[in-house]
Amino acid sequence: MLCNKMDTTRKSSVALTFLLAFFIIASDMCMESEARGPIVHVHCSRDDDCKYRPCRAKCGCVCSNSYCTCVFSFMDNVLTHAPTN
């Protein structure tokens, strides 16, 4: 059974459509991941060097392996209250 020209054109159009949709979705995901902003690593030699870090009060930053790192996770600092009845 031979394929006619219309079937070949239809198959290539469908493949091209899916490929184009994949590139659009992939580029959108890439843009969303860049929208969070750069991750800044603050170098330090002792704990006092981390005192100007904005999240120090929330996470308890300490100097570890020459980088300021958080001791507590951010999820531990979330205060939630039960809804009132």
In terms of domains, do 49 and 23 share one?
Answer: no
Q: What is the DSSP string of 14-58?
A: HHHHHHHHHHHHHHHHHHHHHTT-PPPPPB-SSGGGGTT-TTHHH
Q: Let me know whether 30 and 68 are in one domain.
A: no
Please tell me the predicted confidence (pLDDT) of residue 40.
Answer: 66
Domains of the chain: total? 2
Name the residue range of residue 79's domain: 40-85
Same domain? 28 vs 46: no
Residues 1 and 31 grouped into a single domain: yes
Note whether 31 and 72 are same-domain residues. no
Q: Quick one: 52 and 67 in the same domain?
A: yes
Q: 44 and 34, same structural domain?
A: no
Walk along the chain (85 residues) and give the pLDDT tens digit of each residue: 455 666 777 788 888 898 888 888 777 665 555 545 556 667 788 888 887 776 666 667 888 888 887 776 655 445 555 666 6
Q: In this predicted structure, what is the pLDDT of residue 38?
A: 55
Indicate the pTM of the whole model: 0.36
